[in-house]
Structure 1
Amino acid sequence: MNCLEISGEVCHVDPVRYTPAGIPALNLILKHSSEQIEANLKRTINCELSAKIMGNDALIPLKIGDRIKTKGFIGNKSAKSNQLIFHINFIEYL
């Protein structure tokens, strides 16, 4: 199963673009901070995650500093790339 749910702060948003098929696409960077338990030890997590939103959700007016909760999956950045990107298919403002 390939499913990721993560919340964070939008720290970069590209302008909306359109695919050759006319589908809206939005690239962003999501900054996440939390404390997690690993091997019975508290661990502070700080990371930035490249993400992409496709379709009508790409038209949601996101701006830097927005706190959001997201769900989606991890996939390749493109057909010719092995870089991973988070494909968001659910977004909610916090």
Structure 2
Amino acid sequence: MSLRSVNQLELVAQASQVEPLRHTPAGTPIAHLRLEHQGEASEAGLSRQVGFGIRAVAVGPLAQQLAAIEPGTLLQVCGFLAPQRQGSDQLVLHVQQFKTL
């Protein structure tokens, strides 16, 4: 696999919004949530405060688990980034794994 094809993100963030579980017409569960990250990163030898929010989505059994968490829960999530819809500049984190912290 070439490095150009790697799209993986690991993030510690707080679930600020958790929407009710929905289902596709085929019956697949989908959970939408908003994650808020606050942290510190090192750049060019300097410490920098970093804070941002990102929309996240989970599909299948993972969606059922994420939809059950309470807003304010601190999570470690792993997944990949994809456009919100085709042609969009808005990115969404597609959660593939998570654990509560």
- Identify whether the pair has TM-score above 0.5, normalized to the shorter chain: yes
The within-5 A match list for 1:48-63 is 48-60=53-65, 61-63=68-70
TM-score (norm 1): 0.93
TM-score (norm 2): 0.87
Unaligned residue ranges in structure 2 (runs of 5+): 1-5
| Structure number having the greater helix percentage | 2
For 1:33-57, what per-residue CA distance to the aligned partner results, in whole angstroms no more than 9, with x for missing partners?
1110011110001111110011101
Give 2:80's aligned residue.
73
Q: CA deviation at 1:78?
A: 2.7
**Identity level (%):** 32
Unaligned residue ranges in structure 1 (runs of 5+): none
- In the comparison of the two structures, how many residue pairs are matched? 94
Give 1:19's aligned residue.
24
Q: CA deviation at 1:80?
A: 6.0
In the TM superposition, structure 1's runs of 4+ consecutive aligned residues that sit over 4 Å from their partners are: none
Q: CA RMSD in A?
A: 1.2
Q: CA deviation at 1:62?
A: 1.3
| Structure number having the greater strand percentage | 1
